[in-house]
Structure 1
Amino acid sequence: MSLRGGTRSLQGAAEGAKSAHGFDYDYFVIGGGSGGVRSSRIAASHGAKVALVESVRLGGTCVNVGCVPKKLMVYGSHYPHDLEDAKAYGWDMTEPKLNWQRMIENKNKEIARLNGIYERMLKNAGVEVIQGRGTLVDKHTVDVDGKKYTADKILVAVGGWPSLPKIPGIEHAITSNEAFFLKERPQRVIVVGGGYIAIEFAGIFNGYGSQVTQLYRGDLWLRGFDKDVREHLVNEYKEQGVDVRFNSNIAKIEKSGDGLKATLEDGSVLDADVIMYATGRSPRTKDLGCEKVGVELDKNGAIVVNEGFQTSVENIYAVGDVINRIQLTPVALAEGHCLADTLFGGKPRKTDYSDVPTAVFSQPSIGTVGLTEEQAREKYGEVHIYKTSFRAMKHTLTGRQEKTFMKLIVHPETDKVLGVHMVGDAAGEIIQLAGVCMKAGATKADFDNTIGVHPTSAEEFVTLRTRFGA
């Protein structure tokens, strides 16, 4: 799928008028993902002469092998349940038949469409797009497949890449990158990991009809999320038939007939057609030239930056997953935008990392913003907890036992809402507006004084009255 194969400019040539500083460009961006595209486009809108280099496809992880295709596959995995639920509402459906290849082809067409939009957007903004692999030569020079380009300021926005453990047979496993291009739906899948990527893919494969076993080496998945949320989702996945196993890990993988055999650390064996690892991502700084030019890296290979995204080399900057702060597409967009405004727009500003709303497109989905109960108690001591668990109205007819969970964490003295958490249908949609409330400093009284939209699940957030514990 790589477009690599020599340097190719999509808009004009690198030669021509120098920038105001005597370099080829004012701003040279390495990486065409969310942060790099946004920063280059905004910088160009401020009048800077900008180039962006990308070695694969524009849009980065999110567009190509991340949130966009994953969300499309989440949508697709819901249909078998939806068709089954339709019977309770009077609809008799024929037995559904899956054409996995058609789904993959349609997904690929949509991603190609988005790649084109990114290319046109950059071109219209006046950014020169160069195809190839960019590496740092010195503080003002980038090498792209043998050709040198100079710039007054350089931005590194190369993102991250899935990492794999070093165990025997790991070459037989895949990551989320390859999961988007499987030629057929696997019958038996082992998903290794307990983060949001692992959980989302376990839900996707399960929804599409695969037999799914999910292994996590810890006691409970989704480390860093509210404990009630984590435990609630475990119960939901088990109810749906996902074989969730904690304190479990693979010791080795072997070929077995037309499938794979995974031997666990406890000696037990699992058979699978696909073994997918989602056990972390690493910054893509290997062979980028950071060490050669003096750009400091942390122990995990992430680029160290100050609050203005400046590296240890004063004119080289970095944003997005490569700096290992909050690895979310909207965060990278905000970082890139702030940096461009600061450097070229005469509008110095910083990225605010507080109360960032986020969603996990598990099944059911998670929406969360603000502090977890554990974080709130550590910071404030006593906090007020309001929570509820209920079967959504839709399932009073379908008979499904799926439960929605909602939780508010409130400061006992100021009444300010410190955290909002939800597991249930449309949690990602609902949490966006909860994030607005948090940014505005909403109190529990503000929630209580808001009239609910009935009948919806969301109205539960403004009708919570029972307090749990201190």
Structure 2
Amino acid sequence: MKEYDVFIIGSGMAGMTIANKCASKGLTVGITDELPYGGTCALRGCDPKKVIIGATEVRDFAKRLNGNGIDTIPKVNWKDIMAFKQTFVDEMPPKIEKGYEKNGIDTFHSSAKFLSDNTLEVGNDKVQAKKIVIASGSKPRILEFEGGHFAKSSTDFLNLEELPKLLLFIGGGYIAFEFAHIAARCGAEVTIVHSGESPLENFEQDIVKHLVSATKDLGIKLILNTDVTAIEKVDGQYRVEGKCAEKTEYFEAEAVFNSAGRPPAIFDLDLDKANIAYTK
């Protein structure tokens, strides 16, 4: 059994920072991640999203200036954007792992489960540590209704080989709005279905009003006070059922995306065996 001063579950920005700082102080450190090293932000979130947004912003600026110095609105080439984005994503995991190796940090590439308060099962290995850090991030919320498995994740959106012409997002959070704007600027028809009276409830509502206005100006349909209750696959497309009070509506889409929130990725860690209290 390997023993460490500190062992970290998750190699995103939080886990990476802790691992490298602890190693710099002379502590023995191990880290694991069942996904490629780098975490959501670098590989499946903020950074690749910014690359894609950059191209769509150029088109948006050109459209605003059309007739005022700009004569041609450029067309967004989705395949080229994806290929360009991937050049940044692909280089991150080996670069991060090389940094760990340089700092004397042991690396693992498996999921972890607690066996006790200081012992973990990491793939086929068992490790003990004086301190165990949970930096496992979050994952898409599981949609419990019928056909929920048909909904794709934000990661799937960032890896689309081709952009569907008709998209629907379940949930009116910031991920839905960011991706909806990207898709709309690329010429897709987009619908956001949100269960609440207002999207982005935890954000400053005056700013949200301006965002909603800009969203509608892009032609994005924003459906509020509607709970998605089922997704059905019909002839290669999807039929989404939404209920508002006593009324049932149906929406058609080539692709449906789950943007209904991201709970913490802790529920497969067997936290009870380590006497760790948590809520769902």
TM-score exceeds 0.5: yes
Deviation at residue 171 of structure 1 after TM alignment:
1.8
Report 1:14-413 matches (<5 A): 24-93=3-72, 96-265=74-243, 266-298=247-279, 300=280
Q: Provide the rounded CA distance (Å) in 2 between the counterparts of 1:258 and 1:97.
A: 27
Q: Rg larger in 1 or in 2?
A: 1
State the Cα distance separating 1:97 from its structure 2 match.
4.0
Distance 1:278 1:100 in 2: 21
Pairwise CA distance, 1:212: 0.7
Alpha-carbon distance in 2 for matches of 1:83, 1:236: 16
- Give, in whole Å, the separation in 1 of the partners of 2:236 and 2:271: 43
> Once the two structures are superposed, what CA deviation does each residue of 1:442-463 show, in whole Å capped at 9, x if it has no partner?
xxxxxxxxxxxxxxxxxxxxxx
What secondary structure sits across from 2:63 in the alignment? helix
- Name the amino acid aligned to 2:266: T
Contact 2:143/2:149 (CA < 8 Å) preserved in 1?
Answer: no
Deviation sequence 1:287-327 (CA, Å, 0-9, x none):
312111211112x1xxxxxxxxxxxxxxxxxxxxxxxxxxx
User: Unaligned stretches of 5+ in structure 1?
Assistant: 1-13, 16-23, 301-470
Which residue identity is paired with 1:132?
S
Q: Distance in 2 between matches of 1:214 and 1:237?
A: 10
Deviation at 1:38, TM superposition (A): 0.5
Aligned-partner residue type, residue 25 of structure 2: H
Moved over 6 A (4+): none
Structure 1 distance, partners of 2:92, 2:65, is 33
Q: Deviations over 1:198-251 (max 9, x none)?
A: 111111111111101111111111112122112221112112211112112322
Q: Aligned equivalents of 1:162 and 1:168: distance in 2?
A: 17
Q: Relative contact order: is structure 1 or structure 2 higher (C-alpha 8 Å, sep ≥ 6)?
A: 2
TM-score by length of 2: 0.92
Equivalent residue letter for 1:279: A
SS of corresponding position for 2:263 = strand
1:261 is matched by which residue type in structure 2?
A: R
Provide the identity percentage. 28
- Looking at structure 2, the residues matched to 140 and 157 of structure 1 have their Cα atoms a distance apart, in angstroms, of 16
Three-state SS of the structure 1 residue aligned to 2:139 is strand
Q: What is the number of equivalent residue pairs in this alignment?
A: 277
- Aligned AA for 1:38? T
Q: Give the 3 Å change call, closer, same or farther, for CA 96–226 of structure 1 in structure 2.
A: closer
Cα deviation digits, residues 79-120 of structure 1 (max 9, x gap)? 322332343342333x64443222222212211112233222
Deviations 1:149-174 (A, max 9, x none): 12221111111101032111112111
State the distance in 2 between where 1:29 and 1:263 align: 42
